[in-house]
Amino acid sequence: MKKGLGRGLNTLIGFGDDLNQTVSGEGVGEATEINIMKIKPNPDQPRKVFSDEELEELSESIKEFGVVQPLIVTPRGEGGGYMIVAGERRWRASQLAGLSTIPAIIRNYTDFEILGIALIENVQRQNLNPIEEANCYKRLTEEFDMTQEDLAKRVGKSRSHISNSMRVLRLDPRVLDMISEEKLTMGHAKPILSIEAGDAQFDAASKMVEQGMNVRQAEDFVRRYTAQLEAGENPEDMAPPEENPAVAEIRNKYKADLRDALGTRVNIKESKTSGGGGKIEINYFSGEDLDRIVDLIKSHG
């Protein structure tokens, strides 16, 4: 079975002539079934977080259709072992699916080439959380001596996006963890950058999470927070940002309307991101109650 790298790696690299020739040279090799236990992940893989839900979904797909796209691996270690160059998510899902072998294309790469491929592939495929993405850009600029302008051309992002992404790495590590865990968005992170001390950054970020602030509220909060710091006052005494009374009144009206229509408790929460979006939470208390609510919604569809 002949398998090509397709667009995945042939056109994603291109950040150095030597590496480009290695990846795009004559032929791409033949996919071979390899014992899954002989394959190990790349310890320098930039993606550190894999969603259990996504892996489970991919595992179910693999059970039904098999591994559609082979891994890219390189020989490493004694006893015929291999290290993943591209495709760790497929490898993890294949283990969940109970596969004993997995299709893979074997190529010889140096550690330098493997790092470059992993960084570019993950950024291009948008598999990373914001902090992993920022660290990718940092490593590409530092270890591969790329300018932000060169990097922007290679990965198809604007230079301002790359610059703003890398700036976030100046935040306190505890705040970076909140962003990685999706407790805060990059929109929340931007105003926090105006706070210099790490402990104050963490304090402000914690208050944003505790009070469920959206981005606009976070921006206003940081303005008041930094003003109090500069005035030598204690930000602990700050009141939470006030919600627009008109918006709150409309939300409460809709909550009451939905509660009456569905006969259950309903909550409406404004999104933490800008744009005026949010989510509706509908409570149910048994399987029968869920069926009743779904039938009500469908009857008005």
pLDDT in tens, 176-201: 999 988 899 999 999 999 999 999 99
Q: Are 148 and 120 in contact (CB under 8 A)?
A: no
pTM value is: 0.54
Q: Residue 1 pLDDT > 60, yes or no?
A: no
Q: Contact, 124 vs 156, CB < 8 A?
A: yes
**Selected catalytic residue, list 30, 78, 88, 230:** 88
Whether the predicted pLDDT of 271 surpasses 70: no
Residue 286 in tokens: 């048994």
Residue 123 and residue 139 in contact, taking contact as beta carbons nearer than 8 Å: no
Residue 236 annotated to the active site: no
Query: Distance between CA 94 and CA 295 in Å, rounded?
Result: 38
Mean pLDDT of 199-218: 90
Q: What is the pLDDT of residues 46-103, one digit of tens each?
A: 676 677 888 898 899 999 888 888 888 888 876 778 988 888 889 999 999 999 999 9
Q: Tabulate helix, strand, coil % of the chain (nearest 5).
A: 55, 10, 35
Cα–Cα distance measured from residue 192 to residue 219, given in angstroms and rounded to the nearest whole number = 8
Pairing between strand 266-270 and 278-282? antiparallel
Predicted local distance difference test score (pLDDT) of residue 13: 41
